[in-house]
Amino acid sequence: MSSADGPLVVGVDSSTQSTKALVVDAATGAVVASGQAPHTVSAGQGRESDPEQWWTALCEALRQCGEAAHRASAVSVGGQQHGLVTLDAAGRPVRPALLWNDVRSAPQARRLIDEMGGPKAWAERVGSVPGASFTVTKWAWLAEHEPDAVRATAAVRLPHDYLTQRLTGDGTTDRGDASGTGWWASATESYDDDILARVGLDPALLPRVVRPGEVAGTVHASGELPFSKGTLVAAGTGDNAAAALGLGLRPGTPVLSLGTSGTVYAVSRHRPTDPTGTVAGFADARGDWLPLACTLNCTLAVDRVAALLGLDREAVEPGGDITLLPYLDGERTPDLPHASGLLHGLRHDTTGGQLLQAAYDGAVHALLGALGLVLDADADLSVPLLLIGGGARGTAWQQTVRRLSGRAVQVPEARELVALGAAAQAAGLLTGEDPAAVARRWGTAQGPVLDPVEQDAAALARISGVLSDAAPLLDRGPR
Contact assessment for residue 379 and residue 266, using Cβ atoms and an 8 Å cutoff: yes
Query: Cα dist. 339→10, 322, 331 in Å?
Result: 40, 19, 6
Kind plus residue range of the DSSP H or E element containing 174: strand 172-174
d(Cα 102, Cα 173) in Å, to the nearest integer?
Answer: 22
Contact assessment for residue 144 and residue 108, using Cβ atoms and an 8 Å cutoff: yes
Q: What are phi and psi of 27, to 5 degrees?
A: -80, -40
Q: Is the dihedral of CA 88, 91, 96, 100 positive or negative?
A: positive
3-state secondary structure of 76: strand
d(Cα 303, Cα 220) in Å, to the nearest integer?
Answer: 42
Active-site position among 239, 329, 361, 434: 239
Contact assessment for residue 308 and residue 341, using Cβ atoms and an 8 Å cutoff: no
Q: Distance from first CA to last CA of the chain, Å, rounded?
A: 52
d(Cα 347, Cα 337) in Å, to the nearest integer?
Answer: 29
| Pairing of β 18-25 and β 31-38 | antiparallel
Contact assessment for residue 77 and residue 107, using Cβ atoms and an 8 Å cutoff: no
The 10 Å Cβ neighbour count of residue 5 is 10
- Please work out, in degrees rounded to the nearest 5, the angle formed at the alpha carbon of residue 234 by the alpha carbons of 232 and 236: 150
Look up 50 and say whether it is catalytic: no
Known catalytic residues are: 239
